[in-house]
Chain A
Amino acid sequence: MVKLKYDIEGGNFNRAGNASSQVKRVLKQLNIDQRLIKKIVVALYEAEVNIVAHAYEGTMEINISPEKIDMILQDKGPGISNVEQAMQEGFSTASQKVREMGFGAGMGLPNIKKNTDLMEIETSVGVGTTLRMTKYLNNVE
């Protein structure tokens, strides 16, 4: 079992993607199938950027076993008042500044859904959000 943990800073777009990129490096070292790595990286990046864009601070925890990779992104932030709406492609509350950078298409959570086997959001308005994702490693389609 390989365990990794990274801190994610809210609002710091210069560092957004660093944690995902470190996890990618480890997955490559572990010789995980390239096709799976590509999908895991999309999901991780979107989850990482959501903390940077929408929350104050958070962590990314990764647990890799031979059969699966579990990813937990936990943040302190505004939470999500309507998860079903947030999951819809095109829905975004991103600020104008964040949109100018090209974020805020409302495609991040749908991208996560498409690229993982399990995805679960637990959130409390005014407190924060926990996103759990799983990718099975023996199931390359």
Chain B
Amino acid sequence: MKVSELIEKLGLTAFTGAVGVEREIAGGYTSDLLSDVMGNAKEGNVWITLQNHMNVIAIASLKELACIILVKGITPAPEIIEKAIAEEIPVLGSNENTFNLNGKIYALLN
């Protein structure tokens, strides 16, 4: 599935517009601990988190993750969006909590 389809199916907010939405998704990883993500997330993963700062973009870019999804209506600051666009990492948002969002994405991907 492409990031664009996930946005459409779940009604996600695309803070970075059309940037990177053609990326193909291969599974996902959910964690708010950055070195857990660094050590265990895989290329192409959707990353579900409530962490909302510059290092999240750096990690997603270094790990070549498909996109970041911020839970519970969290909105990233403009400089974060700017960096994400520069790194071509889609940053998306959902009003759902982590449990519900995980369940929905899991069902869509499996």
Contacts and interface: CB of A to CB of B under 8 A. Distances in A.
Contacts of B56: 102
30 contacts: A13-B53, A13-B55, A14-B54, A16-B58, A17-B55, A18-B58, A21-B61, A38-B63, A41-B62, A41-B63, A45-B58, A45-B59, A45-B62, A46-B35, A49-B35, A101-B34, A101-B51, A102-B51, A102-B56, A103-B34, A105-B33, A105-B35, A105-B36, A107-B33, A107-B35, A107-B38, A107-B39, A108-B35, A108-B38, A114-B39
B22 interface: no
B43 to A, nearest CB: 7
Contacts of B59: 17, 45
Contacts of B58: 16-18, 21, 45
Tier of interface size on chain A: 20 to 34
Given A16-B55, A111-B39, A114-B39, A102 B62 contact: no
A129 interface: no
The SS class assigned to the B binding surface is helix
B32 interface: yes
8 nearest CB pairs, A to B: A17-B58, A107-B35, A105-B33, A102-B34, A111-B39, A102-B51, A14-B54, A108-B35
Interface of A: 13-14, 16-18, 20-21, 24, 38, 41-42, 45-46, 49, 101-103, 105, 107-108, 110-111, 114
A126 B39 CA distance: 29
A42 B39 CA distance: 7
A108 B49 CA distance: 19
Tier of interface size on chain B: 10 to 19
A118 B49 CA distance: 32
A61 B2 CA distance: 38
Nearest to B58: A17
A105 B48 CA distance: 18
A17 B57 CA distance: 10
B51 A42 contact: no
Contacts of B43: 38
Given A38-B43, A45-B62, 16 more contacts: A13-B54, A13-B55, A14-B54, A20-B62, A21-B62, A45-B59, A46-B38, A101-B53, A101-B55, A102-B33, A102-B51, A102-B56, A103-B35, A105-B35, A105-B36, A107-B39
